Structure 1
Amino acid sequence: MGLTHEEYRLLTEQMGREPRMTELGMISVMWSEHCGYKYSRPVLAYFAEYKKAIEGEGLENAGVVPIGDGLGVVLKVESHNHPSAVEPYQGAATGVGGIIRDIFTMGARPVALLNSLRFGSITPGQEDEATVARNRHLLEHVVAGIAGYGNCVGVPTVAGEVNFHPRYSGNPLVNAMCVGLVKTDEVASASAKGTGNPVIYLGSATGRDGIHGASFASVEMDEEGEDKRPNVQIGDPFAEKSLIEATLEALQTGAIVGIQDMGAAGLTCSITEMSAKGGVGMVVDLDKVPLRDPSMTGYEIMLSESQERMLAVTHPGREHEVIEVFQKWGLPAVVIGHVTDDGWVRITRHGHIEVEMPADIFADGCPTYYQTPVEPAAFLQRQGWNPDDLIAPDLNQAWLTLMSHPDVASKENIYRQYDHQVQAHTALVPGVGDAAVIAPEGTSKGLATKIDGNARWTMADPFAGGQLATAEVCRNLACVGARPVALTDGLNFGNPQRPEVFWQFERAVRGIADASEEFRVPVVSGNVSFYNETKYADGSTLEILPTPMMGAVGVLERAENRIGMGVGAGKYQLALVRPTGTEYVQQGLGASLYSWSVCSTEDGVPCRPDLDAEQALQTWLPELVAQGKLAAAHDVSDGGLAVTLAEMAMASGRGLMAVLPSAATEGLHRADAVAFGEFPGWVVVAYSTENEQDVLSSCPGALAIFPIGEMSENLDVVVHMDDQGTTLTQPLGELKRAYHQAGIL
């Protein structure tokens, strides 16, 4: 069931007896890594310490961050990696449904969905034909699952990212994120309280789907994934849509004391966690639970992960108010038990005791492990890599190669499947800017949101990878004019029992915590997904790249002020903004997309970010946008400056002429480094001629700004490097052709 012999001994010691079968099943899921965080909890304390440090500045409980006008923003990311590997449509769909429930359970209206996806190579020749076909199958069905659920449930999918690498062939990553808005004085509690208060089951009937889903997410995959299909839940987005409205309406009655969704571990999790949080117990009669099959055992009922279900505790005598609301929305609602004052969970089926245990054993009894981290020998080797060993290819051809790389190329065929305009509040749609912007009802403010991650950087230097992912997602928000206010993390790694993997995990978390503390932007929620690897019959193991994904939300004072990466008609100047420092580790080519894909080497380490400069960007760019001084902004990331300029030209539908002066590229002696190096904190901004002086003179001391050219009326994109004496030139049409030819869906 997933417990070690020592964990079973600990359980019997805590209980003072041998567990019943249903008790053992419940403990096996609550003590799994997915629910118990037994390997990650000691490391995640880095975030808890930071949250405590800023509570005095307005961070509310349960990850609600006030944004003004009496509103708070709620955000969270969740993984559904293993289910999506064996049943990609339902795995992805129920991942979306689960993260939405996490948001509206808190009383928040879901306003935006995002996703971050990783798959094995879909490029013929990089892997064998069967593997490429399977990777493409997973991609197509995961995207269809996200679209099928998100479009029907009525929450816009506004942003995301998709990357590819052979290391994800056995184990794709499907991380879903949701953002919600709530009145700060109406945040719902997840604690059970009040002796004798009714416990109500809300939502769809319970079936056998998803049994042991949490345990399934806490072990490695193998080649025999088909037999894991029963562990995958089945979603109903139309039931979820009704559940959203019924829950939010029921919360408005004031009858609900506490409420929680039945996510991982289903009834087990909601009953035990709500009891433990409130310091109370519960008595539950499983005979009263709505079932799809009356023959289900108590074990099956308690471990089912059927979707679209909630558990609520109401004030005495007011349960009928909640039941009437749910019945109005066509959803089951029935009292299944009551709260007790002794802290024990007692569950019966057909009059027989299935469970009789203290709630604390489920919620707090799980042991934690601190694996001694071991730095891999390859880490030191990467630091010693010399970029001058690279033989630079034809740079114009390399530019086109990067534009057609699946990590860079157009994802339009993906995001066009998502309804990003439902609710009619999306002010900046996918493909237009560095982040999405929502203009929600009830406020003139705008919400910007994005999710980012770069496994190349994290594999090469996990601490830098954590810092860089955090810095980039905040920079993306700043580029559309938003001030970052909150972060959520999706931490995807291999087996934590391997010292090298635990080292990657701990270093990445330290990097995230370091950057978030420097930026004064808290990590308010998140998810850890371990055991993302596949065991093969020959004894080999394919482990994913270490992949932290950072989601963020930022605030614009006025939503209509947002900018994208493209400009309209008229005369616009371009400038490169970068940190003042000019020491670039390995010329910015270590762990870059250019060195990996064009030069076929995965050596080197990335440049670490200048956190002071990044923080200055996060303040200065939103100020310029609010003042109407900037027309466009786009950060330098995958593929470097040449890709950034090409994307701005394509978004504008016109060419550009960029001349990089010696001062702008000081410290860089290779032309390919200037064109394709990946430098944190580099941003290209566009502004009208009349705003040029205001933009240049307001640049803060931690940053340097260099005018580099202008948008042109012809259709050529030209990048000239003074120091290197090199010019790149491509017709806009050729760049577009490369950008759209990758065949991603």
Structure 2
Amino acid sequence: MTLDTVDKAKDDSKDRGWLQDGPVGAHTFGQPYAELGLKTDEYERIVTILDRRPTSSELAMYSVMWSEHCSYKSSKVHLRQFGEKAPASDAMLVGIGENAGVVDVGQGYAVTFKVESHNHPSYVEPYQGAATGIGGIVRDILAMGARPVAVMDPLRFGAADHPDTRRVLPGVVSGIGGYGNCLGLPNIGGEVVFDPCYQGNPLVNALCVGVMKHEDIHLAKASGTGNLVILYGARTGGDGIGGVSVLASETFDADGPAKRPAVQVGDPFQEKLLIECTLEVFAEDLVTGIQDLGGAGLSCATSELASAGSGGMRVELDKVPLRDATLAPEEILMSESQERMCAIVEPGKVDRFLEICAKWDVIATVIGEVTDGDRLEIFWHGEKIVDVPPRTVAHEGPVYERPFARPEWQDALQADGAEHLPRPQGGDELRATLLKLTGSPNLADKSWITDQYDRYVLGNTVLAQPEDAGMIRVDEETNLGVAVSTDGNGRFCKLDPYTGAQLALAEAYRNVATTGARPLAVTDCLNFGSPEDPGVMWQFAEATRGLADACQILGTPVTGGNVSFYNQTGETAIHPTPVVGVLGVIDDVTRRTPIGFREEGQIILLLGDTREELSGSVWADVAHGHLGGRPPQVDLERERVLAEVLIAGSRDGMVDAAHDLADGGLAQALVEACLRGGNGARIVLPEELDPFVALFSESAGRAIVAVPRSEELRFTDMCKVRHLPVARIGVVDGETLEIQGQFTIGLDELKAANSAPLRDFFA
């Protein structure tokens, strides 16, 4: 289809429904641009950019690249804070804007990490949606020049006993395990959260970590006139068409989605070949730029490479290897078929590049070249079907300053605190409450899920679920390592999105520090409802502001991430759920600190202040089905001090076990430390606290540590010098958890209560 035959082509292609039929500004009902997710004003802007109507292929490209999922058009104005408020960091090597952020971890090593969402596809087709979420984030890491070394999976589902959760969760878990296990990547952490607000809209976020040397970093740009564009990997099929523009950028109807063709289909064995092939190509320095094909497929890869490069690009679309010969050019451009990469290669290196691809049985085809112009030109059997300025497709999409306003119900929600709720009285009721909470889905043992993942493949996993953070050894000779944790509490964010986002960062930061690693950098996946709702946009604006402010104080820059909007069914949005990932570095993984109480006789210390903070807590939810009040206070300077103490204690051999206090408070932290280490504990609660508050408050900035008796004085002196509250609350001992003066529970009874729920629901 040539540019000068658009009108004829429009008539010929009405059955396909790609071209706008009628004058610019016409009613959108039945208009192809509207069916592709474009608004009328966006279509009019495309016409202005091109000074003509777009061809059907151009319309396809703009529709996917200007989607909410790809262009961040509703979030850009808020995301800028991550750059404007970014703390100075000597570790930052590559920041926001590339496939993934990269940080320096020492000894010449760099680590890249990123978290992204695959929420809607995972509801429509749980197995493939989750599997291709893993595949996509792995390729993002690979495209930076790194070898992927680990994955994580922050997950959120509806109520555990809801029939649709039983449909979605097993498929999602199987997809994550099936794809990641076949790639030979350990799954070292994540979360599984249940809440009715995610009913019909689960959150399936995926994180990947990769390791490389500094000199191996690669960027997504097409430079060098005459360099060739090579598409390699799987053949292009009809799966995933409209995935980013329609499926990921729309609210589900109340009856749920019927968009199965928009879900990608993955092949982990093809991806494994692609990984090894790409790493060998990197090792021989054969590429000048590289981009994975994920959301928006070839539309994204060609436009972003050309936009970030020094010239233009010419592509012969009919040379693309296809699984389905009937695909139209628009469909080829929009397809999100998995396991594909696009590389820019100098002519003299092409033969060697193709040899390596053949060695790994990876299809590779030269589909174009870098030109000295400033246009992205795409041809179909010799006819030009695309002629656009690439930046207008990839980097100059719409920017919306959507209206936002504090919801009218927010004041009433915050006024309805948990203080008025009936509380357990006496030891027997406290005991029953602890058993009920530890046996609730959100606090229960998640091994039914994590046992389906290979956590130790490759042999470098140091810590994995259910530890506070996953830890991977980077260098086998020096034992250099990195730790990663993800956290996000939608209930706290519903009560106060600014504070809730900061609490998510604080918990992930604290989790990394409890292992002995020093937090370095942040990635985030911001999951929210419809940006067209002013109340949702207020939640997003507040959460983003809170996260940016907190990163500035903690000195942990945001390296990249993802925004996922339209997470709602009908008019019902999920809780605002910013998932925050923190990466830290540890010089010697043999000094890491696990959560379990491993040695009898060690002293248990409680670090930090406990206040009566129960609103939004697990206790309020499980015991009363209540959500209201204000979330716990967050003191970021205290979090920094606590982290310093935990890191120093690990490094200097003063701490044998450490566990942060979060969901379920001190009671749940003790349960997990006892069960993980196989030893009981005798606990004396602080006299100044009500026993119920001491056990179940969810005050932030706290941790418990187990220290040898010989190290107690040295450790407590270190806390006092830093003005960190520290209290001796017990000793590791026996086969029971004894809260002196209140109750005793055997470890067998604790384990039975803690391990039953997920197996009962899903086994």
TM-score by length of 1: 0.94
Residue type of the alignment partner of 1:257:
T
CA contact (8 A) 2:419 2:615 kept: no
Q: Tell me whether 693-702 or 173-182 shows the greater mean CA deviation.
A: 693-702
Q: Aligned pair 1:298/2:323, yes or no?
A: no
Which of 736, 739, 743 is the matching residue for 2:751? 736
Which of 99, 116, 141 is the matching residue for 2:137? 99
Aligned equivalents of 1:630 and 1:150: distance in 2? 33
Kindly state the Cα deviation for residue 386 of structure 1 after the two structures are TM-superposed: 4.6
Q: 1:740–1:236: structure 2 CA closer, same or farther, 3 Å change rule?
A: same
CA contact (8 A) 2:81 2:545 kept: yes
Q: Aligned pair 1:727/2:742, yes or no?
A: yes
Which of 155, 161, 175 is the matching residue for 1:117? 155
Which of 720, 731, 746 is the matching residue for 1:710? 731
Q: Aligned pair 1:198/2:231, yes or no?
A: no
SS at match of 1:489: strand
- Give the aligned partner of residue 698 of structure 1: 718
CA contact (8 A) 1:170 1:542 kept: no
Kindly state the Cα deviation for residue 384 of structure 1 after the two structures are TM-superposed: 2.8
Which of 273, 277, 281 is the matching residue for 1:246? 277
Kindly state the Cα deviation for residue 424 of structure 1 after the two structures are TM-superposed: 0.8
Which of 102, 110, 114 is the matching residue for 1:76? 114
CA contact (8 A) 2:600 2:679 kept: no
CA contact (8 A) 2:91 2:104 kept: no
- The residue correspondences of 1:563-578 to structure 2 (distance < 5 A) are 563-578=593-608
Render the CA deviation track for 1:382-425: whole Å, top value 9, x for unaligned: 33335431111322211111101111000001000001111111
Unaligned runs of at least 5 residues, structure 2:
1-35
CA contact (8 A) 1:572 1:689 kept: yes
Kindly state the Cα deviation for residue 516 of structure 1 after the two structures are TM-superposed: 1.1
Render the CA deviation track for 1:22-68: whole Å, top value 9, x for unaligned: 111110110000000000111000111234x5256644354211010
Aligned equivalents of 1:223 and 1:506: distance in 2? 26
Kindly state the Cα deviation for residue 373 of structure 1 after the two structures are TM-superposed: 1.9
Residue type of the alignment partner of 1:608:
Q
CA contact (8 A) 2:525 2:561 kept: yes
Q: Aligned pair 1:282/2:313, yes or no?
A: yes
- Give the aligned partner of residue 436 of structure 1: 470
Which of 398, 402, 406 is the matching residue for 2:441? 406
TM-score by length of 2: 0.92
Kindly state the Cα deviation for residue 561 of structure 1 after the two structures are TM-superposed: 0.8
CA contact (8 A) 2:417 2:630 kept: no
- Give the aligned partner of residue 671 of structure 1: 691
Aligned equivalents of 1:386 and 1:210: distance in 2? 45
- Give the aligned partner of residue 631 of structure 1: 656
Residue type of the alignment partner of 1:661:
P
Which of 178, 183, 187 is the matching residue for 1:157? 187
Aligned equivalents of 2:226 and 2:322: distance in 1? 25
- Give the aligned partner of residue 501 of structure 1: 536
CA contact (8 A) 1:94 1:307 kept: yes
Unaligned runs of at least 5 residues, structure 1:
124-131, 536-540, 721-725
Aligned equivalents of 2:603 and 2:38: distance in 1? 62
Q: 1:569–1:577: structure 2 CA closer, same or farther, 3 Å change rule?
A: closer
CA contact (8 A) 1:467 1:608 kept: no
- Give the aligned partner of residue 533 of structure 1: 568
Kindly state the Cα deviation for residue 226 of structure 1 after the two structures are TM-superposed: 5.7
Q: 1:575–1:57: structure 2 CA closer, same or farther, 3 Å change rule?
A: same
CA contact (8 A) 1:454 1:547 kept: yes
CA contact (8 A) 1:642 1:719 kept: no
- The residue correspondences of 1:47-446 to structure 2 (distance < 5 A) are 47-51=82-86, 53-54=87-88, 58-61=92-95, 62=98, 63-123=101-161, 132-215=162-245, 216-223=247-254, 225=256, 227-393=258-424, 394-431=429-466, 433-441=467-475, 443-446=478-481
- Give the aligned partner of residue 574 of structure 2: 544
Residue type of the alignment partner of 1:329:
W
Which of 652, 656, 659 is the matching residue for 2:681? 656
Residue type of the alignment partner of 1:525:
G
Aligned equivalents of 1:738 and 1:593: distance in 2? 16
Kindly state the Cα deviation for residue 444 of structure 1 after the two structures are TM-superposed: 1.9
Aligned equivalents of 2:743 and 2:702: distance in 1? 19
CA contact (8 A) 1:219 1:531 kept: yes
Kindly state the Cα deviation for residue 251 of structure 1 after the two structures are TM-superposed: 1.3
Aligned equivalents of 2:523 and 2:723: distance in 1? 27
SS at match of 1:306: coil
Q: Tell me whether 53-62 or 102-111 shows the greater mean CA deviation.
A: 53-62
Aligned equivalents of 2:551 and 2:91: distance in 1? 15
- Give the aligned partner of residue 621 of structure 2: 596
Render the CA deviation track for 1:90-126: whole Å, top value 9, x for unaligned: 0000000000000011111111100011111123xxx
Q: 1:628–1:336: structure 2 CA closer, same or farther, 3 Å change rule?
A: same
Kindly state the Cα deviation for residue 225 of structure 1 after the two structures are TM-superposed: 4.6
SS at match of 2:220: coil
Aligned equivalents of 1:557 and 1:7: distance in 2? 51
Aligned equivalents of 1:398 and 1:377: distance in 2? 34
CA contact (8 A) 1:450 1:553 kept: yes
CA contact (8 A) 1:612 1:702 kept: no
Aligned equivalents of 1:565 and 1:496: distance in 2? 40
Kindly state the Cα deviation for residue 527 of structure 1 after the two structures are TM-superposed: 0.4
Q: Aligned pair 1:688/2:718, yes or no?
A: no
Tell me the C-alpha RMSD between the 2 structures: 1.5
Aligned equivalents of 1:321 and 1:224: distance in 2? 53
Aligned equivalents of 2:408 and 2:53: distance in 1? 45
CA contact (8 A) 1:573 1:687 kept: yes
Render the CA deviation track for 1:505-551: whole Å, top value 9, x for unaligned: 1111111111111111111010000001112xxxxx33211111111
Which of 36, 47, 65 is the matching residue for 1:30? 65
Kindly state the Cα deviation for residue 447 of structure 1 after the two structures are TM-superposed: 1.2
Render the CA deviation track for 1:234-259: whole Å, top value 9, x for unaligned: 00000100111111110122221100
- Give the aligned partner of residue 128 of structure 1: none
Q: 1:380–1:227: structure 2 CA closer, same or farther, 3 Å change rule?
A: closer
Residue type of the alignment partner of 2:413:
R
Residue type of the alignment partner of 2:758:
G
Q: Tell me whether 356-365 or 105-114 shows the greater mean CA deviation.
A: 356-365
Residue type of the alignment partner of 1:32:
S
Residue type of the alignment partner of 2:594:
G
